[in-house]
Copies of this chain bind each other. A is one copy, B any other.
Amino acid sequence: YSTEKEERDEIGVVTGLAWTEVGGEILKIEVTKMDGKGNLVLTGSLGDVMKESARIAFSYVKSKAKELGIDPEEFGKYDLHIHVPAGAIPKDGPSAGIAITTGIASVFTNRPVRSDVAMTGEITLRGKVLPVGGLKEKILAAKRAGIKTVILPKDNKEEVMSDLPPYVRKSMNLIFVDHIDEVFKIALREEKKEVENQESES
């Protein structure tokens, strides 16, 4: 599809991976901030566990403001909206945790997210990455979408390595992590200004 080629690295847009009854699927996580009072708006027919994931992600970024170079007062000046299209499809589970956290960090640090990286993994309040399900289907979905780099929970490594056909494993860049800091290093580009220039050069 040509649509994939159009994809640019954007602030607040992260490529997650969902497991469905008919296979894996690309799941775009959209995060936007706007003038406000620190409220969190969640849309996309999200279930309770997924809404809690978003709360954990938001709290994690807030509690690590200093480390991420964010002025903590910023959080109170904006409302944050997290949406996961398509709007009418119910979604749930904790596996979008690291993608949501990455989207929030992107929005408050002005660092674009690499659109050629997909990810799945539960986040905890300490930033630990916990194992999730449906890995094989999710990795194949990333492959079908032309995405080679996939970030996965380290505790899923053994399972992935034994379940995934060798020809898939070899064609993909699978990165296993056990802390969200590793995700940020891989998926977040430099602050917007630099990226903008870079873009205009290409």
Contact = CB atoms under 8 A, between A and B. Distances in A.
A55 interface: yes
Interface string A86-98: 1110000110010
A158 interface: no
B124 A85 contact: yes
B41 A59 contact: yes
Interface residues of A, number: 46
A81 interface: yes
B43 A55 contact: yes
A102 interface: no
A87 B49 contact: yes
- Interface of chain A: mostly helix, strand, loop or mixed: mixed
A114 interface: no
A32 B63 contact: yes
A79 to B, nearest CB: 8
Nearest to A86: B130
B13 A34 contact: no
A62 interface: yes
A126 B30 CA distance: 7
B49 A63 contact: no
Given A43-B56, A44-B52, A45-B48, A63 B34 contact: yes
Interface in A19-68: 28, 30-36, 38, 41, 43-45, 48-49, 52-53, 55-56, 59-60, 62-63, 65
Interface string A127-139: 0101000000000
16 contacts: A28-B124, A30-B124, A30-B125, A32-B60, A34-B59, A34-B63, A35-B62, A35-B76, A41-B55, A43-B55, A49-B87, A49-B88, A56-B81, A85-B124, A86-B94, A86-B130
Given A35-B75, A63-B81, A88-B94, 7 more contacts: A32-B125, A34-B59, A35-B72, A43-B52, A53-B87, A83-B125, A86-B122
